[in-house]
Structure 1
Amino acid sequence: MQTAPRKVINAWCMYDWANSAYNLVITSTIFPAYFEGVTKNRMPDNEIEFLGRRFVNTALYNYALGTAFIVVAFIIPILTSIADYRGNKRNFMRFFCTMGAIFCCLLYFFAPEYVPENANRLSSTSLTIGIFCMVLSCIGFWGSLVFYNSFLPDLVPHNQRDRISARGYTWGYIGSVILQILCFIVVFFPESFGFHSKFDKDFMPARISFVLVGLWWFGFAQIPFRYLPINTMKERRELKNVFSNGFLELKKVWTQLKHMRVLKLFLVSFFWYSAGIQTVFLAATQFGAKELHLPTDKLIITIMIIQLVAIPGAIIISRASERFGNIQTLMTVVLIWIGACIGAYYTYTDIQFYILGAVVGLVMGGIQSLSRSTYSNLMPETKDTASFFSFYDVTEKVALVIGMFTFAFIEEQTIHFGGMRNSVLALMFFFMLGFVWLGLTMSALKKAQKQSSGTAQG
């Protein structure tokens, strides 16, 4: 296949620039710390009531995110199949982006009520708004990514996908850091923006940051929406019942996967280590705040270290894959993740937390980028790229559900004797399973390459 024009490839990378601000500010830094702060109360173990049940506040956060991933896992296979049939995956990507950005902005209304006695109270209505907007913005973020990822095999041939995938992640890290710095200015210097009362300084900067993220995401996303290709009218297959045909398409892809041993084994390994990766990243701020009692500024410093180190990390891992092979590189990176989980269990100081953040950052972007490009390279040549990538994304989302629910459940059950430390240690077993299945994938790949070589010589 021919490589797409440079401006189209750069436009594709620009979506990472646009939406990674959500992943950093909302998923990783300001919003988790804000949520933990506004839901903290005098009840035992900071429990809050939601939908008639009491939850540990951070466990509720993880359960809500897990619910969002369940929704994504159910709807994405249908939508991507429809997109492949109708050739309009760019439109679906735009829909989820717009939805996510709007509900991200609406997080501004997730705030406690002002009480003169300085005991700021979070109403049940405000909590419901916060959970609702958090879930829908999360669905928008992850929903748009499946369509974004599916463009990669349409734009570049196999030998360029590792490099372009890494470029997308690199642009995303740079863009998200720029917006994060702008948000930091608002958070750390609230008086400069007219916030003088303790109530305003505690809550308004974070709420403004949520709006800035939504505007940044939606605004820069207009660049890829302008340049990414859409199939011609002749290529589109207008079908009367796109929902039933969508399920038929999924069945066809699943049938192909059952006969592709290497790709199937890779998806199993990806499932297990993905359950650990995203859960670690999503829960890092909560861990620092609750287990180490770090203030917001030190938590933000840690996440910034992760982001900044992730930029060269993605490049280094991409270069390593060119020299040693994708699967071998992934196995090495997963071993580092296992070590990071053990290290987190024994982390007690801010310096240790910074070092741990640097290690996580080094392998965070690289393993995501390399996983995406490895799957793309193992895929068969097909026009139904969105449907194939739906399996990839559903695998990741289901893994996230298991990871987040496991993390929250173990925290609740062991809140008085380990809590989140036990949750982090449990994630190590997900990485161990991922490592084992990567080994099986490598063996199957070598066997397939040997058979292919023998057939060619014959």
Structure 2
Amino acid sequence: MTTSHSSAPADTRERVRTQRGWYFYDWANSTYYTSVITVFGALYMSSVAADAARADVARNGPTPCVDAQGAESTLQNCDISLFGLQFPAGSLWGYLLSVATILQVLVLPITGAIADSSQYKKRILGLFSFIGAGATALLFFLDDGRWQLGVVLYIIASIGYGASIVIYYSFLPDIATPDERDAVSARGWAFGYLGGGIALAVQLAFYLSRDSFGISESTAVRICYLSSGIWWALFTLIPLRRLRERPGPETAERGLAVVGAGFRELRDTFRAARAFPLTLAFLGAYLIYTDGISTVVTVSAQYGSDELGFSDEVLIATILVIQFVAYFGGMAHGFAARRFGAKRTILGSLVVWIAVVTFAYFIEEGQQFQFYAVAVGIGLVLGGTNALSRSLYSQMIPAGKEAQYYSLYEIGERGTSWLGPLLFAGIGHATGSFRYAIIALVIFFVVGFVLVALVPVRRAIAAAGNREPAVL
């Protein structure tokens, strides 16, 4: 007979109050990914590096950064160097994200192990949250060619973000019963998209009206960075107030001994994970289709700009459409999971993903309303697919190992996130058309659908020693 490892408060009113506090961390951190990474990061970071390159050229020679035709360039032909390596300023953002991802792969597993072996999981959540928020706010000083400062701060913020997400996810079994987790996870994800959308809308309104405030484009972007860090830090106070520390294991260590215990926990988890092949099978399926999801989101602006010829205004509007529709999509997935179960709802959402990507292939150049329709489709399934994956995975995790298994979840996602962009770029390069590249992404959703369908989730939940939810 199986038992649930949920330590959710028995009192319904207290449990709901705790869950509402938990939602706010999705609300708090979403502005980092939406505003700092997706919208403002790439262009501004590269432009600061290009400014530094032009200033260096001006000091050392009369020739400015130029392209092949002799016209002044701002990015690709302005070289910068780091640790003896020289590369175009326009490539800095891609390299930076890659390095940040590699460092997270190294840091997240031990973070999860330390959290599970200590009695202070909430404090660890707060620590990494404020580290990430502080580094984000300090990006305000990213100006006057100080791109090296930006590299350091972005890496620190990314590690704070990733580590806090692992701890945040691991609270789900603590605050919700098995029958509640799908709805709670979906609400949290939806709430996050709503918060990220509101923050981004305010920031974009400020950025686009910067002339009326008499400030430069650079200053406007840096104020948006500062506001994102403040937003993240302030709203993190709500979950830190509402969440409760779960009693740690009887052998829980204190002080610096927690670090040693964390390494031992990590070693034991990797050894023990092989005893739960069905959990790992679901994780493998998730890593495939989530790579398709993240690729569609990250390349949609490039597809809209380079293949369909849309202006920046259309692309910005598309991002906002996705953010706000994702709120309703996440809530809808929670209702659907309550009726049909998480597995069936995930399978249904993957079918929608296939339809959306296929429709994107047929968008006519310059037809912005067709592009908005695709944005609506993405928003409807974006948050919900990931939210239900998060909650279904929580049912398959052995008791007391939540943070460690969610660290595997996160580093697996980051470790495979290069496959989709590589396929997209490779096919676009080989065919000269991003239409063929976008339709090729369907394979991630088809393969993911097949693999999820083959995973016997009830057996996986029972094997982990947990109680099955009534609807699955």
What band does the TM-score fall into relative to the shorter chain?
Answer: 0.7 to 0.9
Could you give the per-residue CA deviations for residues 96-122 of structure 1, whole angstroms, max 9, x where no partner exists? 2122212222333334x5xxxxxxxxx
The SS at the match of 1:54 is strand
Q: Could you say which residue in structure 1 is the equivalent of 2:224?
A: 209
Cα gap change, 1:70/1:432 in structure 2, threshold over 3 Å: closer, same or farther? farther
Q: Is the CA contact (8 Å cut-off) linking 1:403 and 1:427 kept in structure 2?
A: yes
Alignment of 1:215-294 (within 5 A): 215-232=230-247, 235=250, 237-238=252-253, 242-294=258-310
Between the aligned partners of 2:310 and 2:43, the Cα distance in structure 1 is 10
Q: 1:62 aligns with which of 85, 88, 94?
A: 94
Q: Could you say which residue in structure 1 is the equivalent of 2:332?
A: 316
Cα gap change, 1:212/1:450 in structure 2, threshold over 3 Å: closer, same or farther? closer
Deviation, 1:338, is: 3.0
Mean Cα deviation higher: 368-377 or 44-53: 44-53
Stretches of structure 2 lacking an aligned partner (at least 5 in a row): 1-5, 51-64, 466-472
**TM-score of the superposed pair, with normalisation by structure 2:** 0.80
Matched, 1:21 2:31: yes
Q: Could you say which residue in structure 1 is the equivalent of 2:181?
A: 161
Deviation, 1:135, is: 3.1
Cα gap change, 1:336/1:23 in structure 2, threshold over 3 Å: closer, same or farther? same
Deviation, 1:214, is: 0.6
Deviation, 1:400, is: 2.3
Q: Could you say which residue in structure 2 is the equivalent of 1:11?
A: 21
The SS at the match of 1:277 is helix
Q: Could you say which residue in structure 1 is the equivalent of 2:157?
A: 137
Q: 2:136 aligns with which of 97, 104, 111?
A: 104
Alignment of 1:297-446 (within 5 A): 297-347=313-363, 348-349=365-366, 350-380=368-398, 382-404=399-421, 406=422, 410=426, 414=429, 417-418=432-433, 424-441=438-455, 444-445=456-457
Between the aligned partners of 2:193 and 2:280, the Cα distance in structure 1 is 30
Q: Is the CA contact (8 Å cut-off) linking 1:190 and 1:205 kept in structure 2?
A: yes
Deviation, 1:182, is: 1.7
Deviation, 1:192, is: 3.2
Letter of the 2:245 partner, please give it. I
Deviation, 1:2, is: 5.9
Could you give the per-residue CA deviations for residues 251-293 of structure 1, whole angstroms, max 9, x where no partner exists? 4333443233331211110111121222332343344344445
Q: CA RMSD, aligned part only?
A: 3.2
Q: Could you say which residue in structure 1 is the equivalent of 2:469?
A: none
Stretches of structure 1 lacking an aligned partner (at least 5 in a row): 114-122, 453-458
Between the aligned partners of 1:306 and 1:313, the Cα distance in structure 2 is 10
Letter of the 1:101 partner, please give it. A
Q: Is the CA contact (8 Å cut-off) linking 1:62 and 1:408 kept in structure 2?
A: no
Cα gap change, 1:297/1:440 in structure 2, threshold over 3 Å: closer, same or farther? same
Letter of the 2:281 partner, please give it. L
- Counting aligned pairs with the same residue, the percent is 30
Between the aligned partners of 2:218 and 2:305, the Cα distance in structure 1 is 17
Cα gap change, 1:108/1:416 in structure 2, threshold over 3 Å: closer, same or farther? farther
Q: Is the CA contact (8 Å cut-off) linking 1:165 and 1:372 kept in structure 2?
A: yes
Q: Is the CA contact (8 Å cut-off) linking 1:410 and 1:422 kept in structure 2?
A: no
Q: 1:43 aligns with which of 64, 67, 74?
A: 67
Letter of the 2:411 partner, please give it. V
Q: Could you say which residue in structure 2 is the equivalent of 1:152?
A: 172
Equivalent pairs counted in the alignment come to 428
Letter of the 1:87 partner, please give it. Q
Letter of the 1:26 partner, please give it. V
Between the aligned partners of 2:201 and 2:420, the Cα distance in structure 1 is 30
**TM-score of the superposed pair, with normalisation by structure 1:** 0.83
Cα gap change, 1:449/1:395 in structure 2, threshold over 3 Å: closer, same or farther? closer
The SS at the match of 1:28 is helix
Deviation, 1:449, is: 9.4
Between the aligned partners of 1:33 and 1:367, the Cα distance in structure 2 is 29
Q: Could you say which residue in structure 2 is the equivalent of 1:117?
A: none
